[in-house]
Every structure is written in structure tokens, then in C-alpha cells.
Amino acid sequence: MIGVVLAGGRSTRLGQDKIRLRLPGDGRDMLARTADLLAARTDGVVVSCRRSSAIAESGGLRVIPDEEEGLGPLGGVQSALRALREPILVLSCDLPFMDEATLRRLLVARNARPAEAVLTTFQQVETGYIEALVAVYEPACLPCFEEARARGLRQLNLVVPEASQARIPYTRAEARPFFNINFPADLERARRLLSPGT
């Protein structure tokens, strides 16, 4: 299984590049932190990004550019699946509280999934929300992406039919690992929570 860091966003809502953010802690930027998390649980790590991105292949990380720009995470996951042709553990680069325990839980569920499941992901109990950016995608789900593109669908969490998903329930009380940074207020909250003594 290959780990895929989703780093193709333009960070327009945040106003600065997410992958270069350094939060209180060990000094790593978000790209390095996410890649390290994936490296501990997979057989290799690649970065999914826009073709026009300034991300360089550094630190031994291979870059897979989007085949078609403007599709968001859907385009990134589809391009990675096509390029790699093996299971991928996808992780968005803007999750400051993601941890190894959560990824371990995901992989245990993936290994125990029903034969028909081509996507293993988390679902929040209270809202039904699917964590499509913290998930394992099997190569067999590629036809779902082709069909989604043919229909003009761009929402990643709607690409794979529910009957082909293995879902791990989690509650709001367990939601911290899924907190992501989209807006300046999110960044400030993450900094406060990660600061010593908080």
C-alpha cells in the first residue's frame, strides 16, 4: 500500500500555503508531518499536487501531478490511483491532529473489509459525514471515478457508492484527528491547542 499526501489545494481560504505551515511542536511543516505519518504505515509515500504546484520532489518523495486540474481532491485521488495501480492510503495535508492510532484503526478496518468494499473510511455518527480525505482507496474503485467524471460529479465523498464502502463509525468526542485547517480561525485554534500548557 502506498501513502498519498493530498497537497493540491490552492489554500485560497487560508491565505497561505498549507503544506509549509509550521505549528507548535517538532518544527516540521505540514507536508513533512503528513508524509512521516504515512511512511510509518505504508510501503512508500507520494505527494499528489497540481501540475502548476511549486512542490519539488525532495526528501525522496515522488510527486504525482493531477492529470486534469481544477477537480480538487477527486482529481488527485484519481490521478494517484491511475499512476500507482495499487491500494492507496490517502491523507489530506491539513490535519494537524491526525495520529498513528487513527491510521492504525483505518488499516485494521481495511484488512477486515467485505470483499465488495473498494473504499474504507470513517463516518461521523452524529452527522453521517464521510471522511473521504482520510481513507483507503482500492484500485478497483477507478471505474467509480470514471463514472463520476462522466456525470460531472466533483464531490469526492459521493464517488464510491455506499454499498462499496467499509465505514468506521466515530463520534464527535473522537473527532479531533479529523480537524482540518481551512480558514485563519482554524489555524489560530490549532496553534492554541498545540501550544505548550494548553
> Residue 92: what pLDDT?
93
| Cα–Cα distance for residue pair 117/163, rounded to 1 Å | 7
Alpha-carbon distance of 107 to 120, in angstroms, equals 8
Nearest to 30, CA basis, from 14, 48, 18, 15:
18
Within 26-158, strands assigned E span 45-49, 62-65, 88-92, 119-124, 130-137
Could you read off the pLDDT of 65-77 as tens digits, one per residue?
Answer: 888 878 889 999 9
DSSP single-letter state for residue 175: -
pLDDT of residue 59 exceeding 60: no
Q: Chain-centre distance of CA 86, in angstroms?
A: 16
pLDDT of residue 51: 62
**Verdict on whether the full-model pTM lies above 0.75:** yes
Pick from 165, 163, 112, 161: which is nearest to 137 by CA?
165
